[in-house]
């Protein structure tokens, strides 16, 4: 029997260099991996699914549908709210999810009929049941985390794969052992890893028929034994893959040997800073700047490119940080570097810390894209920070720098090296207007940020509770837990 209802899943326009089509009409990354997972939770015999990524195509607001599902990160949640409001004016029920809605559910409920907080797997059946009964409302939050076993395979058939360069996203785990203060991972997915069965991963890869994949994990090397098991399963399948890993375990020769043998062509690593004290201050204790250069050389020896992620604007950063970081990155031969401005995302420890100190200036979510200054830095003026940020970024992607860093002799992929450097060089900086880079002051948010999971460290948990004192959810924001 054909499906009788239709659900429209939407990823709002983000307008970032990674999601904007810039090369032959293709975007560097597909941002809809989460929506493909949500789509897999919806019975195909009951619902037709329409998937729209607004980065590559317009939204059909006149489509006849029974429900709209919108997933948005903080930097494009305002566009998500606009979309939600438009559909609701037509009488179409809207449910929102994703990182921002999970941390700001009461805010999201002002634009949606319902909000999914955290993982959707254990609550989606309840959402669909309430949709059928015409009583979709409130906050849906599971009473536990999913084990990652028995997950349905993402609906890759819904993806317009010809519009993306990187589109084969595979999630092997959720969670992260580290508790970096600026990161949402610990209070979204927890400090313990949960793993998908390896046979499920291989079945998904074979079904997708993708040979170039991105492992969509917070830290693929977080448990070395598990990573080795996955890579052994990858061997002999003709795969080319990339992943995010931590700098400490990336030194392990056993891991790197298996990575190279199984098809790894790039690892992205959150180095964050060249200052040991700065790393300690933000609880990025697994990083050791004295080892960065040797690690880059080691990865190159195995033919693996290094995407180094660095953040500027930490407390303690001084004007010298920009030249020091740039010189170090070029001289160490980083293949690519992603430079970002420290951003206190709602619900992170950095957010609560800066809110307590009264240092967050702007709550315009459009500016929360790691390319705008939304807080008062210490040790730097806002002008020094944005000028240093632009100088560092531009300096790394000059032609002389690229010629010095080009992989002339080893086994690194010259094709992927060139593609990534062209993308970063062409569009890595969102704006160069000083009036835009430093976000204008705004009133504070009407509703509190509420982490889906409370921090485990007592001092951080107390910080969150202090930040929630005197706030309350609106009466209509009832919470519906999974049975």
On whether both 197 and 318 belong to a single domain, the answer is yes
Determine the pLDDT at residue 196.
Answer: 96
Whole-angstrom distance, CA of residue 322 vs CA of residue 327: 9
Residue 135 lies in a domain: yes
On whether both 70 and 193 belong to a single domain, the answer is no
pLDDT at 93 over 80: yes
On whether both 110 and 185 belong to a single domain, the answer is no
Question: 361 Cβ partners below 8 Å, 6+ apart?
Answer: 374, 375, 376, 439, 441, 442
Asked if 11 contacts 96 with a C-beta cutoff of 8 angstroms, the reply is: no
Determine the pLDDT at residue 42.
Answer: 96
Whats the size of the chain, residue-wise? 483
pLDDT tens digits for range 186-242: 999 998 999 999 999 999 999 888 899 999 999 999 999 999 999 999 999 999 999
pLDDT at 481 over 90: no
Determine the pLDDT at residue 426.
Answer: 80
Q: Which residues pair with 27 in a beta bridge?
A: 164
Asked if 305 contacts 342 with a C-beta cutoff of 8 angstroms, the reply is: no
Residue 307 lies in a domain: yes
On whether both 185 and 62 belong to a single domain, the answer is no
Residue 445 lies in a domain: no
Sign (positive/negative) of CA torsion 343, 347, 152, 112? Answer: negative
Specify the range with the lowest mean pLDDT, choosing from 15-24, 91-100, 352-361. 15-24
On whether both 246 and 300 belong to a single domain, the answer is yes
Determine the pLDDT at residue 89.
Answer: 97
CATH number, residue 206: 3.80.30.20
106 conformational bin, left if phi > 0, alpha if psi -120 to 50, beta if neither: alpha
75 conformational bin, left if phi > 0, alpha if psi -120 to 50, beta if neither: alpha
On whether both 287 and 387 belong to a single domain, the answer is yes
On whether both 74 and 113 belong to a single domain, the answer is yes
Question: CA-CA-CA-CA torsion for 114, 115, 119, 125, nearest 10 degrees?
Answer: 0
Residue 446 lies in a domain: no
Residue 161 lies in a domain: no
Determine the pLDDT at residue 475.
Answer: 47
CA distance to 95, 175, 222, per residue, from 168 (Å): 26, 20, 21
What's the average model confidence in pLDDT over 303-320? 96
Query: What percentage of the chain reaches a pLDDT higher than 90?
Result: 80
On whether both 95 and 192 belong to a single domain, the answer is no
Residue 462 lies in a domain: no
Residue 452 lies in a domain: no
On whether both 342 and 415 belong to a single domain, the answer is yes
Helix axes 224-234, 253-262, angle to 10 degrees: 20
User: Which structural domain range is residue 235 located in?
Assistant: 168-435
pLDDT at 319 over 60: yes
| Per-residue pLDDT band at 2 (split at 50, 70, 90) | low
What's the average model confidence in pLDDT over 258-274? 97
Determine the pLDDT at residue 473.
Answer: 57
pLDDT at 54 over 60: yes
CATH number, residue 118: 3.40.50.280
Residue 411 lies in a domain: yes
pLDDT tens digits for range 137-169: 899 999 999 999 999 999 999 999 888 888 889
Whole-angstrom distance, CA of residue 161 vs CA of residue 165: 8
Determine the pLDDT at residue 304.
Answer: 98
| Per-residue pLDDT band at 483 (split at 50, 70, 90) | very low
On whether both 266 and 403 belong to a single domain, the answer is yes
On whether both 204 and 131 belong to a single domain, the answer is no
On whether both 195 and 128 belong to a single domain, the answer is no
- Domain count of the fold of the chain: 2
pLDDT tens digits for range 375-391: 999 999 999 999 999 99
């Amino acid at each position: 029997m054909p499906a009788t209802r239709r659900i429209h899943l939407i990823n709002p326009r983000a307008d970032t260099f990674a999601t904007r089509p810039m090369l032959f009409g293709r975007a560097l990354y597909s941002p809809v991996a989460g929506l493909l997972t949500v789509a897999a939770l919806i019975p195909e015999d009951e619902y037709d699914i329409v998937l729209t990524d607004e980065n590559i195509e317009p939204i059909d607001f006149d489509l006849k549908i029974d429900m709209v599902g919108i997933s948005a990160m903080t930097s494009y949640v305002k566009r998500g709210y606009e979309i939600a409001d438009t559909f609701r004016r037509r009488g179409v029920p809207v449910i929102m999810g994703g990182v921002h809605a999970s941390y700001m559910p009461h805010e999201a409920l002002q634009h949606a009929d319902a909000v999914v907080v955290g993982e959707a797997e254990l609550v989606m059946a309840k959402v669909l049941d309430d949709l059928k009964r015409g009583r979709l409302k409130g906050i849906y939050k599971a009473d536990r985390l999913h084990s990652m076993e028995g997950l349905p395979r993402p609906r890759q058939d819904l993806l317009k794969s010809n519009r993306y360069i990187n589109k084969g996203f595979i999630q092997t785990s959720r969670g992260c052992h580290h508790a970096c203060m600026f990161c949402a991972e610990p209070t979204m997915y927890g400090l313990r890893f949960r793993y998908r069965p390896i046979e499920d991963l291989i079945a998904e890869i074979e079904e997708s028929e993708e040979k170039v994949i991105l492992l969509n994990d917070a830290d693929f090397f977080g448990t070395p034994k598990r990573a080795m098991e996955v890579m052994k399963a990858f061997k002999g399948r003709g795969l080319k893959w990339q992943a995010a890993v931590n700098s400490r375990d990336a030194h392990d020769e056993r891991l790197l040997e298996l990575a190279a043998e199984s098809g790894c062509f790039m690892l992205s690593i959150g180095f964050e800073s060249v200052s040991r004290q700065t790393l300690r201050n933000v609880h990025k204790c697994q990083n050791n700047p004295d080892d960065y250069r040797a690690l880059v050389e080691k990865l190159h020896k195995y033919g693996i490119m290094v995407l180094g992620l660095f953040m500027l604007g930490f407390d303690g950063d001084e004007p010298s940080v920009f030249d020091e970081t740039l010189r170090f990155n070029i001289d160490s031969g980083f293949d690519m570097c992603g430079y970002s401005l420290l951003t206190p995302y709602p619900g992170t420890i950095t957010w609560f810390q800066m809110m307590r100190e009264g240092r967050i200036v702007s709550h315009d979510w459009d500016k929360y894209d790691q390319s705008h200054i939304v807080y008062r830095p210490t040790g730097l003026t806002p002008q020094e920070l944005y000028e240093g940020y632009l100088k560092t970024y531009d300096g790394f992607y000059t032609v002389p720098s690229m010629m010095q860093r080009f992989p002339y002799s080893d086994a690194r992929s010259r094709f992927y090296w060139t593609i990534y450097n062209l993308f970063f060089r062409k569009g890595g900086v969102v704006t160069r207007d000083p009036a835009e880079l430093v976000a204008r002051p705004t009133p504070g948010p009407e509703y509190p940020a509420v982490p889906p999971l409370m921090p485990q460290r007592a001092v951080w948990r107390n910080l969150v509770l202090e930040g929630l004192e005197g706030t309350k959810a609106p009466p209509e924001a009832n919470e519906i837990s999974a049975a």
